[in-house]
Structure 1
Amino acid sequence: MLLSEVVDASREVGATRSRTAKTRVVAALLARAEPAECAVVASWLAGEPRQRKVGVGWRTLSSHAEPAPGTTTAEGSAPLDVVAVDALLDGLATTAGAGAAARRGALLDELFAPATADERSFLVRLLTGELRQGALEAVVLDAVAQASGAPAALVRRAAMLSGSLPTTAHAALNGGAEALEAVRLEVGRPVHPMLASPGGTLEDVLADAAQRALDVVVEPKLDGARIQVHLDRGADVPVRVWTRTLREVTDGLPEVAAQVLALPCETAVLDGETLALDDDGRPRPFQDTMSRFGSDEGSEVLLSPFFFDLLHLDGRDLLDEPLAARLVALDGLLAAPGHAPLRMPGARGASADEAAAVLERALADGHEGVVVKDLAAPYAAGRRGRAWQKVKPVHTLDLLVVGAEWGYGRRTGSLSNIHLAARDPGGGAPLVVGKTFKGMTDALLAWQTATFPGLATAEHRWGLELRPELVVEVAVDGAQRSTRYPGGVALRFARVLRYRPDKTADQADDVEAVRALLV
């Protein structure tokens, strides 16, 4: 398959807001792909190279992608094909050591020399994370199901267990349902985490559960970072830790690894949260927790893990079992003396009064609210649904920063008023839903002013347009209908709470979450 075919499909996908149309275009391309190509094509149309990172920045890419003066395309060169391009990206991703910069430069010249202008643009956007033609991973997974004829639920489950869209696409398109069914949970390979949807008030969520005749557990929603921990005593590294984005952070959390290593089992996969606590057991500021996940290697803040789910224990996979059974197994594992502090507290089968008490206690302890979970639900990773619903006394949203304006008065010289956007559930470009300059400290203003220029896609007298990469958590009083914004909805009184470096752009809230707050 030629690179130009993928570029044409990407353009066609970006030209429509219809999820059905996007799926159909991607499925048609995948159906034509050769066995060695389908994983690469699926990954590219989801917006990232199969290698994820290739070790080359935007400035270097742009300098090599720019054609020589007076030329538009390479003459006499064979057209680029998908396998050849992927091999060059493999070379970029694995180049290291002395002379690496020169070798990467030669590989980039080899990559871009035969490329047309459209192909160069596609490759630069692909490698810099700017390929936002609207084919998010969920769209591509639906297309994989359509092209392979495999059930969509089976495709999504394989993606959950493998943690890899390319791997799932290859299995489905080359082996069909049988290959997908063979994908199993593997201790030492992270799975996509199950996510909670924003709920209304606690009374509303409990009333909904009662109407559906559900038995629930109510747990505190901690102000921490999601972690997934795998224990395998027979492995070279017996304990490994990943974040919600499946980034491995094992080396940075030795105290968490040590506590899990002390558990009375041979293999386990645990899901939970970790956070920094003060001497009174109250959460320290969120940035203290996140300092352990960034570049601040000198941070001496210790993190405390709290586990609320168990996906595997001593050879037994628990994913498909109801939450009630998983919690019984988790309680048994953490019941040994000295391990009780690792268990997330909560009230199982809680009455309205008991649930209210959990919420009141969580807020008094400095946490965000509660999560209400259906005890009959299996572990449905990577998808937000009504099985888990989070309840907070203050409406909060995780949104994308897509622009920033220069401040005035005391904020002159600072990038202040930020433009907020929600994800388009159809896979299109993010939809602006408002602006805010409230809630920003001087330190945050300085950080924004130093950071935003590196994400700029356009510069104006008023400020910068930004790549939609940064996720910011804002508190709002609600939302109102608006003809000003393309999503038809605008935030009411938004103020910044914090940035969320633990979340990627595809984990931001979509515009439906904003519309749910309409007053």
Structure 2
Amino acid sequence: MGFAEVVAVSAAVGSTRSRLAKVDALAGLLTAADRAEVPAVVAFLAGAPRQGRIGAGWRTLAALTGPPAPEPSLTVAAVDAVLDEVATVQGAGSTARRAELLGGLYAAATADEQRFLTALLTGELRQGALEGVMLDAIARASGRPGPAVRRAFMLSGRLPETAVAALDDTLDDVRLELGRPVRPMLASPGATLAGAVADLAPCLVEYKMDGARIQVHKHDGQVRVWTRTLREITASVPELVDLVHGLPCASVILDGETLALTDDGRPRPFQETMSRFGSTVEEQVKALLLRPYFFDCLHLDGQDLIDEPLRVRTEALRRAVGEHVIPGVLDPTPEQAEELTAAALDAGHEGVMVKDLDSTYQAGRRGKAWQKVKPVHTFDLVVLAAEWGHGRRTGTLSNLHLGARDPDGGPPIMVGKTFKGLTDELLAWQTRTFPEHESHRDDWAVYLRPSVVVEIALDGVQVSTRYPGGIALRFARVLRYRPDKTPDEADTIDALRRLLL
């Protein structure tokens, strides 16, 4: 298959707001592709190369200024092969060799192909083929039911492999596998504690901690740990590895949170916890030990539990981890739920989670089975731009332009601005870091590729014609940045619009 065909479909998908049209275009291309090409085609259209990060940043790509090829000649296989080679280059001279390989690729690419490659390799490709849309396209192309495709994706964690399994009619062979991380189940915001408890009864109410999501696998005498984005961090968290080694089970898959605590047991700032995930054992601050709190168990000693209701998984969890289970109450009365919420807030945590005890584990789903209830509304939004400050903020990037995720796969939809909550430390960090994500700038602002996620607290939203989403944030303020989340995990415009109801 010609690479130009992928680029053309990407452009077509990006030019329409219709989810049905996006799915039709993507499914048509998947049907036309040879089976060996499918993994690369899916990865390209989803905006994430099979190879992951290839070690070539924005500056390297911007330096590839040679003239484009007059006619398309590249194939999907050829582009994928070059990226394979670029990703494996290491050692002395690796930077020059990557530039040489990419230079040859760009020289063979047309202008449209060059633009696509740059967007793909910098994470800026936002043509609308996000996970949900691509999964629908895979189901359409293969003729397999959507729920079966989504389940295989949950268990495999990868879109390309899911597409191959669907087209080969082997989705049923994709099973929970020790040592392969599962995509995590997500929660949606709950309006009130009483409402969430009433909706989900019988339910489990537990602490909502300001920590980092972890998934831990123990099997064959080994323990491995992943983040919510399925990045392995085993080498950075030896105390968690040692703790799980000591649990009274031979094999287990655990879902939970981890956080650093102060001497009096209160949570340290989220950024301090996250700083551990990028460090080596030698770089770690030994006083900054991580404490795990587990809230789900997907496998225990040879028994897969992922399709069991939460009440069964919770029983297994308590057998497996004992005192390391997150604090909570099973099937509480309204008064008990209120008491637990007060205790969570007094301990310095965010609020509580309310979970349906009859629910199964469904990765990536922000449905009503899990609801998070906090004292204030908080949403994860994408930073679109930052304006240069005035007065005492002159010379720093200050006022943020904020966007919500388009559930149909388009670019983030702007919903407001804020400079509130920005400390001097955050202002300095923004000014230093945002140019690394820059797409362009003018005299007033630096505009960012959609790559930075920030958690925003707000009092609500209001109808507004000022922004394209038809709403505007009320009294928005910055709480923290979320390096553990990608723009695909930001909250949707629909989630914000629900606050109008």
TM-score, normalization: structure 2?
0.97
Residues of 2 paired with 1:473 and 1:109: CA distance?
Answer: 38
The one-letter code matched in structure 1 to 2:358 is: A
Choose the corresponding residue for 1:232, options 219, 223, 239. Answer: 219
Residues of 1 paired with 2:25 and 2:225: CA distance?
Answer: 37
Q: Which residue of 2 aligns with 1:435?
A: 417
Structure 1 stretches lacking a partner, 5+ long: none
Choose the corresponding residue for 1:170, options 149, 164, 167. Answer: 164
1:3-40 deviation line (CA, Å, top 9, x unaligned): 00001000000001111111111000000010111111
Residues of 1 paired with 2:409 and 2:455: CA distance?
Answer: 21
- 2:236–2:278 contact (8 Å) kept in structure 1: no
Once the two structures are TM-superposed, the CA of residue 115 in structure 1 deviates from its matched residue by: 1.0
- 2:453–2:485 contact (8 Å) kept in structure 1: yes
Q: Number of residue pairs matched?
A: 498
Q: Which residue of 1 aligns with 2:242?
A: 258
The one-letter code matched in structure 1 to 2:6 is: V
1:114-513 mapped onto 2 (5 Å cutoff): 114-173=108-167, 175-176=168-169, 179-209=170-200, 214-234=201-221, 238-295=222-279, 297-300=283-286, 301-335=288-322, 340=323, 342-513=324-495
Once the two structures are TM-superposed, the CA of residue 412 in structure 1 deviates from its matched residue by: 0.7
The one-letter code matched in structure 2 to 1:514 is: L
Once the two structures are TM-superposed, the CA of residue 74 in structure 1 deviates from its matched residue by: 5.2
The one-letter code matched in structure 1 to 2:78 is: A
| SS of residue matched to 2:398 | strand
Residues of 2 paired with 1:459 and 1:352: CA distance?
Answer: 52
1:115-146 deviation line (CA, Å, top 9, x unaligned): 11101111111111111111101111110010
Residues of 2 paired with 1:334 and 1:286: CA distance?
Answer: 24
| SS of residue matched to 1:106 | helix
Q: Which residue of 1 aligns with 2:69?
A: 73
Q: Where does structure 1 differ by over 4 angstroms across 4 or more consecutive aligned residues?
A: none
- 2:299–2:306 contact (8 Å) kept in structure 1: yes
| SS of residue matched to 1:330 | helix
TM-score, normalization: structure 1?
0.94
Once the two structures are TM-superposed, the CA of residue 95 in structure 1 deviates from its matched residue by: 0.9
Once the two structures are TM-superposed, the CA of residue 109 in structure 1 deviates from its matched residue by: 2.5
The one-letter code matched in structure 2 to 1:417 is: N
- 2:234–2:241 contact (8 Å) kept in structure 1: yes
Once the two structures are TM-superposed, the CA of residue 334 in structure 1 deviates from its matched residue by: 2.7
1:359-404 deviation line (CA, Å, top 9, x unaligned): 0110011100000000001100111111000000111111110001
1:132-170 deviation line (CA, Å, top 9, x unaligned): 111101111110010001111111111110111111111
- 1:74–1:113 contact (8 Å) kept in structure 2: no
Alignment pair present for 1:30 and 2:16: no
Alignment pair present for 1:99 and 2:93: yes
Residues of 2 paired with 1:61 and 1:398: CA distance?
Answer: 29
- 1:10–1:45 contact (8 Å) kept in structure 2: yes
Structure 2 stretches lacking a partner, 5+ long: none
* TM-align CA RMSD: 1.3
Residues of 1 paired with 2:453 and 2:60: CA distance?
Answer: 26
The one-letter code matched in structure 1 to 2:41 is: V
The one-letter code matched in structure 1 to 2:234 is: T
Percent of aligned pairs sharing the same letter: 61
1:234-266 deviation line (CA, Å, top 9, x unaligned): 4xxx11100001011101100011110001111
Q: Which stretch has the larger CA shift, 502-511 or 279-288?
A: 279-288
Cα 1:48/1:334, change in 2 over 3 Å: closer
Once the two structures are TM-superposed, the CA of residue 106 in structure 1 deviates from its matched residue by: 2.5
- 1:291–1:299 contact (8 Å) kept in structure 2: no
Residues of 2 paired with 1:208 and 1:232: CA distance?
Answer: 37
Residues of 1 paired with 2:62 and 2:3: CA distance?
Answer: 19
1:4-19 mapped onto 2 (5 Å cutoff): 4-19=4-19
The one-letter code matched in structure 1 to 2:87 is: A
